[in-house]
Amino acid sequence: PPPPFPGKAPDTTVYPYPWNKPREAIGLERASMEDIAAAARERQAREQLESTMQQETGALPLFMRLRIQARMDEHDQQKGIYIAALKWRDFARRELPLLTAVNDRYRIHLDRPMPSVWSWMNASGATARHFADLQGLSERYNRLPEYTDEDVELLSQDIAIFIRAEMSEADEAAKDLDDYAYGRQLFAAGLRVAEHLNLPPAGAEKFRRHKLKDADLTAGVLQMQDDRYWCRRLKRLAHRWREHLQIAFGDVGRAASVYCSKKQISEWETQRKRTREILKQLEFEDEDSGERISVAAVYDSSVSNPALRRVELMTRIGGFNRIAIAAGFECRFYTMTAPSKYHARLHYGPRNHKWDHSTPKDTQQYLATLWQQIRADLARDEIQV
């Protein structure tokens, strides 16, 4: 049989003028109905995915929501929206519950009843105003991990102002009491707000057992009115909150950063450089001889220097070894580790299903308790440590 027809034969017509030659029609390429329908389905799937993500991650801090959004966008660009939706389904089933549990450990649940503060006993107008103020502080507190240092300072100032207002209301109600009862009323007014913010003062438990001394009571009242006190505590809490979320997200581990997140390392390096610059500008002066020495030089020659601290540790270990051998014993070096429930990741990288959302502070407390038990056991054998 003859070969199949290859197609349209080439046009060999010779036209007398260029404008006589046929040209392609001017117009836009029109997509087929199938392509239009497929694009509409992809757009609908993308909108649905974005809506679901916003709804399920709304309680997380902004920086964590952006991390999750960036991961899903990467899947969308590389493999399409349907693969991104599958990745989100896996993430929502496996990773999101961990992030939510960690975040709920710190945040204030606004759907729960607010604490009864002193000013709520007054007229409804004052009650509504103070409720709105406390509600606003709670909402700002929940955004603490994404705040800058300046934002934290502003929040601490507003908390101190609010507590002063509550103590002022308590002052009007308790001005006829004796000094100790008066101090307890002021302390209680600030304590309710502090506990609502998950930051009770140091003497809260003794206060409940009526064992807080007058001096400590006065110090606690003054502390809760001081914005610098709240600034220090909020900054420390923000770092722990942010680091705990990054541990749950997988930013700390063998496959990422071993000891802490890269952001925390960067902040620590920045703080260390800033401290170094301050030390270079300070000097010690002997009033008798007038001799001066740089504070940085003193720092470098003391055990505050990490290199010298390590040398001192090795020297102590070597000394204990020689003493043990001379006494006829054997020197051993033990490294204590926490159980599996304190580790978010396994040693080779994957997520640890036994992790109970413990923080590094919880792990440190466990090791400290374990060491106390070891010391007590050694003391029973009359071995002093």
> Quick one: pLDDT band at residue 125, thresholds 50, 70, 90?
very low
Q: Provide the 10 A C-beta neighbour count for residue 67.
A: 17
Residue 6 has what pLDDT?
Answer: 67
Rounded to 10 degrees, the C-alpha dihedral 148/151/153/157 comes to: -160
Contact 141, 155 (CB under 8 A): yes
Per-residue pLDDT tens over the stretch 237-283: 999 999 999 999 989 888 888 888 888 899 889 988 998 899 888 88
Residue 287 has pLDDT above 60, yes or no: yes
> Quick one: pLDDT band at residue 28, thresholds 50, 70, 90?
low
Contact 366, 336 (CB under 8 A): no
User: Which of 351 and 84 is assigned the larger pLDDT?
Assistant: 84
Residue 16 has pLDDT above 90, yes or no: no
| Integer Cα distance of 245 and 145 in angstroms | 9
> Quick one: pLDDT band at residue 368, thresholds 50, 70, 90?
very high
Which of 13-17, 315-319, 364-368 has the least mean pLDDT? 13-17
| Integer Cα distance of 167 and 173 in angstroms | 10
Residue 38 has pLDDT above 80, yes or no: yes
Contact 302, 308 (CB under 8 A): yes
Per cent of the chain over pLDDT 70 is 92
Closest CA to 96 of 70, 58, 44, 51: 58
Residue 119 has what pLDDT?
Answer: 46
Q: Provide the 10 A C-beta neighbour count for residue 117.
A: 24
Per-residue pLDDT tens over the stretch 154-196: 999 999 999 998 888 888 777 778 888 888 999 998 999 999 9
Per-residue pLDDT tens over the stretch 74-86: 999 999 999 999 9
Which of 220-234, 337-351, 356-370 has the least mean pLDDT? 337-351
Query: DSSP of 234-253, one letter per residue?
Result: HHHHHHHHHHHHHHHHT-BS
pTM, to two decimals: 0.80
- Kindly state the average pLDDT of the residues 336-359: 89
Residue 65 has pLDDT above 60, yes or no: yes
Give φ, ψ of 284 to 5 degrees. -95, 140
| Integer Cα distance of 385 and 375 in angstroms | 7
Residue 114 has what pLDDT?
Answer: 61
Helix (H) or strand (E) holding 325: helix 306-326
Residue 121 has what pLDDT?
Answer: 40
Residue 333 has what pLDDT?
Answer: 82
| Integer Cα distance of 64 and 102 in angstroms | 12
Which of 25-29, 291-295, 381-385 has the least mean pLDDT? 25-29
> Quick one: pLDDT band at residue 235, thresholds 50, 70, 90?
very high
- Give the CB-side neighbour count of residue 7, counting CA atoms within 13 A: 2
State both tokens at 380.
Answer: 């029973």
User: Which of 369 and 128 is assigned the larger pLDDT?
Assistant: 369
Q: Hunting for tokens 């054998």 — which residue is that?
A: 381
State both tokens at 14.
Answer: 């010779």
Residue 2 has pLDDT above 90, yes or no: no
Residue 279 has what pLDDT?
Answer: 87
Query: DSSP of 196-231, one letter per residue?
Result: HTT---TTHHHHHTT---HHHHHHHHHHHT-HHHHH
SS3 state of residue 257: strand
Kindly report the average pLDDT of the chain as a whole number: 87
> Quick one: pLDDT band at residue 220, thresholds 50, 70, 90?
very high
Name the packing angle between helices 179-196 and 149-173 (round to 10°): 140
Per-residue pLDDT tens over the stretch 93-102: 999 999 999 9
> Quick one: pLDDT band at residue 147, thresholds 50, 70, 90?
very high
Residue 322 has what pLDDT?
Answer: 93
Residue 3 has what pLDDT?
Answer: 67
Residue 347 has what pLDDT?
Answer: 81
Beta bridge partners of 293: 284
State both tokens at 268.
Answer: 């620590």
Residue 383 has what pLDDT?
Answer: 85
Residue 325 has pLDDT above 50, yes or no: yes
